Amino acid sequence: MTDRRRFLKASLLGTAASALAWGGKVSAAPASPQVPVATGARVISTWDFGVAANQAAWAILDKGGHALDAVEAGARVPEADLKNHSVGRAGYPDRDGHVTLDASIMDHNYNCGAVAAIEHIAHPISVARRVMERTPHVLLVGDGALQFALEQGFKKENLLTPESEQAWHEWLKTAKYHPSINSETRDYGRTAGKSMGMPGGANNHDTIGMLAIDAQGRMAGACTTSGMAWKMRGRVGDSPIIGAGLYVDGEIGGATSTGVGEEVIRNAGSFLVVELMRQGRSPQEACKEAVMRIVKRRPEASKTIQVGFLAMNRAGEVGAYAIQHGFSYAVCDARKQDGLIPSQSLYTTSYS
Ligand code: ASP
């Protein structure tokens, strides 16, 4: 790249940054006539690995920190965990052996950023935040996302660990792949899930979705995953799609999802949950209705897939609902830092 092009690019980014940066400024949560503001901080996350993530977020919330900082710090915990094969470093690769990551972040003022199918960067959630704060865009993908991350000083690394590579080689023995996802890989995934100590013998795909409300009533959310193991190269799930895997509306609340991303995208899942809360549903009712919409639209497919929603309104009320038994979520506030709660679900036994 010529010096002039580099200069023009830097100026563009700089202008965008000053125009769009949240810049750590403390802005008040918008008022809502419908839902009272929470009186204390709280953070919630999907799955059992959300417990450790919540604790990192709580370290920030407890000191009066910003919800956005909290969810970023929390999401980085499973991203760095080598035993977690569905998020960040050590995530299972796609069918061609590439670890590709999806992540998104959003604050209470509709600022959001995301990266999709990014490779070689261990903390996509932090790149997503940079997209939000330092570019005029919302979503960067693939090589462009990697280029931006490197320009921002992120380190390029090999994310495929020997354990994940071995799992991929095992899968290659049959290499059954179907776009509807899951049933062919579930047996293998369940074994892998058990070795990760996941609830319900969870499988080869999971996402950390986090929602936080801070002491000043500001909300933020983060969502990060390596997506479906053995996916087609270039496949992107719901997690980096604002409105699908994550949505936050400071006047109402936030929602996030886990499970087969294609079904969540088809239904704009997290946005739907927030809109249902806007219409007066509790977080629990909203999550259930969003799940039931997926089930009603694709009754056959929904028998063999998992989708779970987790939501919190701005009063700090929490709800969750999943198609299949086994989904859980972690809640952390001033009273309890390590709560893990089984989600309600449509089917009450594990799929088998
Ligand atoms: N939602 C993720 C995806 O489709 C995977 C998961 O959460 O299970 O990429």
Ligand 1 centroid–CA 195 distance in Å is 19
DSSP state of 341: E
Residues 306-342 pLDDT 10s: 999 999 999 999 999 999 989 999 999 999 988 999 9
Q: What is the mean pLDDT of the chain?
A: 85
> Which pLDDT score is estimated for 302?
86
Ligand 1 centroid–CA 207 distance in Å is 6
Label residue 235 by pLDDT band (50, 70, 90).
very high
The length of the chain in residues reads: 352
207 flagged as catalytic: yes
Label residue 350 by pLDDT band (50, 70, 90).
low
> Which pLDDT score is estimated for 349?
66
Which residue ranges have their beta carbon within 6 Å of ligand 1? 205-207, 225, 227-228, 237-239, 258-261
Q: Output phi, psi for 340, to 5 deg.
A: -120, 125
> Which pLDDT score is estimated for 39?
77
Tokens of 242: 């604002």
Helix, strand and coil percent figures for the chain, each rounded to 5: 35, 20, 45
> Which pLDDT score is estimated for 210?
98
Residue boundaries of the structural domains of the chain:
1-30, 42-345
Question: Is residue 200 pLDDT above 70, yes or no?
Answer: no
Residue of 46, 135, 185, 207 with catalytic role = 207
Domain 42-345 coded CATH 3.30.830.10: no
User: Which residue out of 180, 206, 307 has the highest number of ligand 1 atoms within 8 Å of its CB and is therefore the one to mutate?
Assistant: 206
HSE on the CB side for 146, CA within 13 Å? 13
Query: Do the beta carbons of residue 290 and residue 4 sit within 8 Å?
Result: no
DSSP state of 301: G
Q: Which of 72, 58, 52 is nearest to 330 (CA)?
A: 52
Ligand 1 centroid–CA 318 distance in Å is 21
**Amino acid at residue number 17:** A
The pTM (predicted TM-score) of the whole model is 0.85
Q: Which atom of ligand 1 is nearest to the CA of 181?
A: 4
CA-nearest residue, atom 4 of ligand 1: 261
> Which pLDDT score is estimated for 93?
95
